[in-house]
Structure 1
């Protein structure tokens, strides 16, 4: 079947919800106004239970179906990004320096649309748990919600999520069994040298040269310590040092990101980076401290659930609009914590042409919201059918 007719009827309302959410972007766990708006809509829809204050501003809404059965979880993220908006839309962000540049306003709207339909029709057995999560961009809100016990508390047996994808055809669903997105780690390197006059470098222990040496040597982890056909990214993204052209500074700072799928590879990178930093520091006569922080784990779809989700997506968008073995990418997503706790799947959904994610001109396409909402609704009805 295509987009659910009843959900199509909500399209104008969904656009209003989404555009309102777009005006009130909030960061990390501080999604108070967003959560209040979501909670108000859920109460209007007549959900059976609403549990607020999970992971500070997250919530779980329960809708009971008809008859006994398991509980399926559906997740949407609510937080925004610290970016100044440049879209020029009438519903521009009212919060300076914050904007919904990743479409979480759209994700929240899609789950609200599904919630309204499921609360009206209840054409399923068991229960559905609607998970509205803060702090996906920074803070790992999904992990916090899992740590606070939502999977056991609400007896969730499987869980699903969607992310919009600019630049892909509207309604195109893409997913893959197994690893879908990478684990993301960050590193910082603090270098302490001895500064001095730029004309007398022999009297210094130059942290600038040490930083350059480390940045170059770190790249050999990918090119010389790792099998070329496996996925690994190690990127130095910042180098900060010095203030004027004739002074060698005392300190330098580097940081960057590491993306992996395999914990063995992750461990190798961490160990090899420590060796490189220590060796380069000794070579240049400086002191250096490496701070390596493991972040979101890899997002790994359950193979059976990914196949099932692709089947549901075909019902909504048509067979030609679903790629069920689309491959993996080096981006990261904290939905990974939920997939560690329960089997499930994560999918990408095309939203047409436009600015890319995390761009100041990005804007969610309201035309695709009924497609995402229909997917959420149908996955409940097909996973837990009546009779």
Structure 2
């Protein structure tokens, strides 16, 4: 007979232990928040992580081509390995929160909460270190730079992340904080969790001229404007309503002044889907629609597509287990099954293509604010409730203890 998770002695006092580490978690988070770094090279952040792990019996390596940290904890007995991830990079954004520990770096902010992920994972490493005799196997702690568009997880995989442990990595788990959910609630779902992403630039070329004589020119601006509406029709008429797709034209640029018809107009945007087939269909249709609309306006068109992250797909069994663990360790009120995916993208998807695993969202809406009214991730005003951190630390630790029975 299987022991109920609530009666499993390995989880006894786990949340309390995470609460005891809260001063460390908050101190590291605030240090990182004051000094955000972007991209793949994060020297100050990397040094802070190494300092936070100092004194623990871990095998630590740093990245060769990026500022990553990989730490391996040996359990009390042989067994498989489990991977836990926290990303570390910030966003190009000017912070306007008014926090006492707000960013001190102009134009850079931890607006997606990666500072919280790093701090929670470092505390989880300390918590699991204290309980390493309960682990039958190894825990690989993945501190990752370059999640915000730099494919950091892919680079870490190429540098041998999955070979860091002596045994194969059996399961993988990551947490992402969100201001749009109740504080302390862990949310997860089996299957697609987050969308794939493609960035694109569309350049429409006509023939420049005087604004008073458009008939003597070939204006690319009306052609570009017509493409915007036509592309939205592709989503509603070529993609099944049961296969979400989001196409956004986020920037249009043309011309230099009011009395000149420009030669070119440029559009930039993103495409997000929850299946590779929808992604392929949409990319084909973008080409087709834009070429025909351009021809109707006597213009030509060129495309520059940048492949983004794949669909983030949670393993069904792992996602269900994460929810069971949250229910047992954090309490039923703090475990919630997500009904639908979200259309943001994540480079954790690269890991989940290789290892059965999951990502879960940790709510951190601040007191006195409703999730609906909270500034969202990637906002210059987003704030996360630090009281949620022990739940993230405990969830990381519970997952490792559960896999390495």
1:324-376, Cα deviation, whole Å (9 max, x unpaired): 34321111111000100100011011112342111111133221111100111
Matched, 1:13 2:24: yes
Query: Corresponding residue for 1:220?
Result: 233
1:331 to 330, 338, 344: 344
2:308 to 264, 281, 295: 295
| Off by >3 Å, runs of 4+ in structure 1 | none
Partner SS state of residue 296, structure 1: coil
| Superposition deviation, residue 3 in structure 1 | 5.2
Query: Corresponding residue for 2:370?
Result: none
Matched, 1:165 2:175: no
Distance in 2 between residues matched to 1:297 and 1:276, nearest whole Å: 24
CA contact (8 A) 2:206 2:300 kept: yes
Query: Corresponding residue for 1:121?
Result: 131
Q: How does 1:1-387 map to 2 (within 5 A)?
A: 4-44=15-55, 46-122=56-132, 123-154=134-165, 155-353=168-366, 354-385=374-405
| Superposition deviation, residue 99 in structure 1 | 0.7
Moved more, 299-308 or 261-270: 261-270
Partner SS state of residue 66, structure 2: coil
1:211-249, Cα deviation, whole Å (9 max, x unpaired): 112112111211221222321111111111123222211
Let me know the Cα RMSD of the aligned residues: 1.4
| Superposition deviation, residue 69 in structure 1 | 0.6
CA contact (8 A) 2:243 2:275 kept: no
Runs of at least 5 residues in structure 1 that lack an aligned partner in the other structure: none
CA contact (8 A) 2:34 2:104 kept: yes
Query: What TM-score do the two structures reach when normalised by structure 1?
Result: 0.96
CA contact (8 A) 1:184 1:295 kept: yes
1:64-120, Cα deviation, whole Å (9 max, x unpaired): 110111110000000000001111122221211101111111000100110111112
Partner SS state of residue 181, structure 2: coil
Query: Corresponding residue for 2:371?
Result: none
Distance in 1 between residues matched to 2:172 and 2:78, nearest whole Å: 18
Q: For the structure 1 residues 2 and 333, does the alpha-carbon distance in structure 2 shift closer, same or farther, using more than 3 Å as the test?
A: farther
Aligned length: 384
1:19-59, Cα deviation, whole Å (9 max, x unpaired): 11111100011211001110111123x13200112551011
Q: For the structure 1 residues 3 and 311, does the alpha-carbon distance in structure 2 shift closer, same or farther, using more than 3 Å as the test?
A: same
Query: What TM-score do the two structures reach when normalised by structure 2?
Result: 0.92
| Superposition deviation, residue 2 in structure 1 | 7.0
Runs of at least 5 residues in structure 2 that lack an aligned partner in the other structure: 1-11, 367-373
Moved more, 95-104 or 313-322: 313-322
